[in-house]
Structure 1
């Protein structure tokens, strides 16, 4: 069995190349100019959104519009921070990609049962990549889709007019001409669509990386678990001692890989979970308020669904990683070590058991990323939503 890393994860790799965040891209003057243009335009649109919030939405006490534009503002900060993390950890990410490529090559020497385990988790990682590609595309498509539906509605009512792809107030020179001047209208259309596309490329590129690393660690742990269970059953004492050395090296190898994953995503997941806690109630509140006005804000559905998934995914796979760590501890304890006469083997297994008492999981700056953390996130979001309803309901 041969697993091609670049083929399995072609979508996030393609997205990283398009937004110039791939760790293999040399950070020279050419890259800087590309980054300056791509992220510079993204920043300009963010500044236009901030202008709308400060000089129009807040000034007119339009809380509904403030919520909509606030979601886009948070998206800018999350995307920019993710890009900064990829730049700061360029060497580390490159190293981890190379480790996974080497591991996939090593898989060819595994027995068939172990190869199936690695393939199973690689397929799950591929599904995560496809999932985020679909979400990113849907998040962008929803904006023009709503726009085209309104075009069709006004055409049916014999009241055809230019409809903005996203409702926001631009500076005066643009605002006065965006509905009367077709060129200005196309300019605003392009700016909003570019903002969505750039953000989507970043999400499709960066978000799947964490789950990919976690699932790869789960695959290696499950292979180790299978080897530990057979350690004293299929081998004599001398062979068991030799294979135990290999198992220890494998465990240290996986722990090292998980530690590198922690370094990459410790701050990212803390920020992501905090951002989701804020965006989720705001987006749901805005959808409900718009529905009461007879409007359908389908584009905010991407923020709600994406916000839930962007926090749920790392929590779920980190929780799975914790489960595999616990399975390893139980496998070591139930490996029939009591039948081994070698004191060295028993001492080594004791060290493994003591090390396995510490959960294998991804931690943020303040807590472990797991399903309990996700539950707390939803509880906090619900509390904020209730507070918003009480204040502005």
Structure 2
């Protein structure tokens, strides 16, 4: 990515703006995800302090846990004593901060890479259209086509690296979603039946869905951009190119793009259709 950003400084204004556009989308994704994670983690802190303040205002002093847990008997008997309570609360706060750092760093990483790959495919799409429409000698066209082939290979290798790094994670994420969503939905409905609202389960339900939706959405976007590039190559006016070497190179590009660029788990491409199938299987 750093190499592509350095090369982007030498591109024409329109192409450079496209690279910047996708870079900004990656930054926006990281920022909005960080905000979501921080607000979610603060929910437990705010809830415990709000309840303690409420009981205090009602004339009753009561300690509320950061997160309600049942401990072994030795701890359970003393967990609301001041010193054990403070120690347990501090430990849970530490775990909360650890989760914020982990989810902020891991979850948006692959989508950010995927967005960069989408931007590079859009860049190649523009270059293919310009190559045929702007004319030039057969030698120039053949040279520029070879550059496009090399850049396309770089994109495919980049996507393969993303898949290698995140394949197992996303396989487990989709499988975990299929297990977690019905359990959490059951717990939420049971809480409603008892006349209460459990923010923890509602938050976990939303988080579980977003953890699967985010990579599936951007995986779907990558497939869409790859299909768009392949269509652009086919509709570029290659029939007007008479040089045999250039036609052969165009054929190589079209053959290469026949295999869809996508992030694959063990059984499926990572896309919204895969998420839909998971949810359908889970609830139906």
Is the TM-score greater than 0.5?
yes
2:252 aligned to 332, 335, 351, which one? 351
2:62 aligned to 137, 144, 161, which one? 161
More displaced 10-residue stretch of structure 1: 222-231 or 274-283:
274-283
Deviations 1:341-361 (A, max 9, x none): 101111111111111111100
- Structure 2: 5+ residue stretches without partners: none
Whether the aligned pair in 1 keeps the contact of 2:220 and 2:270 (CA below 8 Å) is: yes
Tell me if 1:300 matches 2:201. Answer: yes
Partner in structure 2 of residue 222 of structure 1: 122
Whether the aligned pair in 2 keeps the contact of 1:283 and 1:304 (CA below 8 Å) is: yes
Partner in structure 2 of residue 290 of structure 1: 191
Deviations 1:93-144 (A, max 9, x none): xxxxxxx111111110011111111111111111111122112112211111
Partner in structure 1 of residue 91 of structure 2: 191
Distance 1:201 1:301 in 2: 22
CA RMSD across the alignment: 1.3
Note the 1:105-254 alignment, pairs <5 A: 105-179=6-80, 181-236=81-136, 237-254=138-155
Tell me if 1:276 matches 2:177. Answer: yes
Instruction: Return the offset for 1:295.
Output: 2.6
Whether the aligned pair in 1 keeps the contact of 2:142 and 2:249 (CA below 8 Å) is: no
Distance 2:203 2:54 in 1: 23
Partner in structure 1 of residue 276 of structure 2: 375
Instruction: Return the offset for 1:381.
Output: 2.9
Distance 1:206 1:136 in 2: 12
Distance 1:240 1:109 in 2: 20
Tell me if 1:315 matches 2:211. Answer: no
Report the count of equivalent residues. 283
- Structure 1: 5+ residue stretches without partners: 1-99, 384-393
Tell me if 1:261 matches 2:147. Answer: no
Distance 1:130 1:381, change over 3 A: farther
TM-score with structure 1 setting the length: 0.70
Distance 1:140 1:336 in 2: 54
Distance 2:283 2:51 in 1: 32
Distance 1:124 1:277 in 2: 29
Distance 1:148 1:381, change over 3 A: farther
Whether the aligned pair in 2 keeps the contact of 1:321 and 1:361 (CA below 8 Å) is: yes
Instruction: Return the offset for 1:286.
Output: 1.7
Whether the aligned pair in 2 keeps the contact of 1:315 and 1:373 (CA below 8 Å) is: yes
